[in-house]
Copies of this chain bind each other. A is one copy, B any other.
C-alpha cells in the first residue's frame, strides 16, 4: 500500500522557507500569491492488512519520527 504523509509547519510557527518562496514568487510576477507554507512529504510503501491499519502505521511514524510535534502538523493519506 502507498501512504502519503505530509508534514507542515504549524500555524504561527516561523517558516522562513515559505516566506522566502512567497516573496520570490512575488518577484517572478505571481502577485496573486499571498502566502506559502513549505513542508515535507513522504511517500511510503508499506505492507498492511487494510487501509485503516496502513493509515495508523503512517500516523505512528509521523508522530515518532517524521514530524516534530513541537512545530509541525501532519496528515496521512492512503494513496493506493
Closest 3 CB pairs of A and B: A32-B47, A41-B41, A35-B45
Q: Is the CB of B32 within 8 A of A48?
A: yes
Q: Is the CB of B41 within 8 A of A8?
A: yes
What is the size, in residues, of chain A's interface with B at 8 Å between Cβ atoms? 33
Number of copies of this chain that the complex holds: 2
A8 contacts which chain B residues (CB < 8 A)? 41, 43
Q: Does A65 contact B (CB under 8 A)?
A: yes
Q: Within residues 3 to 55 of chain A, which ones have a CB less than 8 A from any CB in chain B? A: 4, 6-8, 18, 21, 24-25, 28, 30, 32-48
In the bound complex, what is the Cα–Cα distance between A65 and B30 (angstroms)? 11
In the bound complex, what is the Cα–Cα distance between A45 and B30 (angstroms)? 11
